[in-house]
Amino acid sequence: MNARSELLSALACADEKYISAATLAEKLGISSEAVSEAVKALEAEGFSINSETSKGYKLSKENNKLSADIILSHLTSKELGRNIKILDTLDSTNNEIKKFEIENAPHGTTVIADRQTAGRGRIGRSFVSPSGSGLYMSVLVRLKLDIRFAPMITSAAACAAAEAVEELCESKVMIKWVNDLYMNGKKICGILTEASLKPEMRKLDSAIIGIGINVRCIGDSFDNELKKIATSIEDETGLKLDRNTLCAKVLDRLDTYLCKISDRSFLEAYRSRELLTGNMITATAGSEKLMGEAIGIDDNANLIIKLQNGEIRHLGSGEASLCRLVK
Ligand code: BTN
């Protein structure tokens, strides 16, 4: 580890408490003057650090600069996020991580961007990804899962992301089938999973889990139409979450939830957060438009709908929304 990484880790591990220049100097094996220079260099890079002559230094609560060192300091998972790459701008983190997949990067490799110029959503949609406001991350997973479990990776990832956000901001997070996270009735997160299957082996080869969370205020980056349906954690709670802490929490929870796919135990958490269940909904399955009551999530994470003619349908993919009351 170089002095820069050691300094960032020490500040992150201090959990928003001040560490004196002397303690840092001893830890890093450099002089207090060199610590002061290193802090200045980090500030020039964009890190927010509070300095007080009598107390020392601490990472500001409002720090919004992404850093692999900070993420690694908070991470407890064994493999997820251990090989991590952060870039300022990418077209899409899912596109970038595909290159790592081809190069045989290990399970858990993670790519994060501060900004995406062509963030991708489900069904060919785009995902607006402005600089400094969201957590845009893709995780490469290599799981020996039977292919019938592949569609459930997204649902398990939704549980992980929901739990991570909820733990950090103490506001209820719901999952709207299939994979959107909602806070106060608006979307704060979308997930795009792209799996490589080996049909002849009936096993999953690898999958890329792309998670986009709107963390800081969206300001003018969303147009008025998008603002009606999407929001950010800060817009809803007033909290300026550190994207590094959030990223580590998502990776930790993902580590746990990926192990709960093959025995389907993640479903309990999924069902308890699912937003559509118990409501009248409209849904699209292929070219078909359906209307009925969402009555639950089955053991394959499909949405169960009771149509108006009493017929029961299990939807494996598609799009569903709450019915709006027409006055
Ligand atoms: C959706 O809402 O339909 C899914 C959105 C998924 C967005 C994330 S951001 C990180 C990763 N990279 C992408 O291009 N997409 C996913």
Ligand 1 atom 16: residue of nearest CA: 210
Task: Look at residue 317 in the predicted model and tell me its pLDDT.
Answer: 87
Query: Could you identify the atom of ligand 1 that is nearest to the CA of residue 116?
Result: 14
Burial (CB count <10 Å: 0-12, 13-18, 19+), residue 99 = exposed
Q: 58-86 pLDDT, tens per residue?
A: 999 889 999 999 999 999 998 999 999 99
Residue-averaged pLDDT of the chain = 94
- Mean pLDDT, residues 242-247: 97
SS3 254: helix
| Residue keyed to tokens 């080869």 | 205
Ligand 1 and 10: CB distance under 6 A = no
Task: Look at residue 287 in the predicted model and tell me its pLDDT.
Answer: 87
Q: 249-279 pLDDT, tens per residue?
A: 999 999 999 999 999 999 999 999 999 999 9
Nearest 5°: phi and psi at 297?
-120, 125
Ligand 1 and 134: CB distance under 6 A = no
CA 245-250-294 angle, 5° bins: 135
Ligand 1 and 138: CB distance under 6 A = yes
Q: pLDDT-based confidence at 222, cuts 50/70/90?
A: very high
The tokens of 108 are what?
């858990």
Task: Look at residue 199 in the predicted model and tell me its pLDDT.
Answer: 67
Question: pTM, whole model, 2 decimals?
Answer: 0.95
| Residue 327 pLDDT exceeds 50 | no
Best mutation site among 194, 211, 226, 250 for ligand 1, i.e. most ligand atoms within 8 A of its Cβ? 211
Ligand 1 and 182: CB distance under 6 A = no
Of the candidates 187, 213, 7, the residue with the CA atom closest to the CA atom of residue 93 = 213
Q: pLDDT-based confidence at 108, cuts 50/70/90?
A: very high
Q: 186-213 pLDDT, tens per residue?
A: 999 999 999 887 767 788 889 999 999 9
Query: Could you identify the atom of ligand 1 that is nearest to the CA of residue 113?
Result: 10
- Mean pLDDT, residues 19-47: 95
Q: 124-156 pLDDT, tens per residue?
A: 999 999 999 999 999 999 998 998 999 999 999
Q: pLDDT-based confidence at 95, cuts 50/70/90?
A: very high
Q: Compute CA 16 distance to the chain's CA centroid, rounded to the nearest angstrom.
A: 23
Ligand 1 and 210: CB distance under 6 A = yes
Ligand 1 and 130: CB distance under 6 A = no
Ligand 1 and 212: CB distance under 6 A = yes
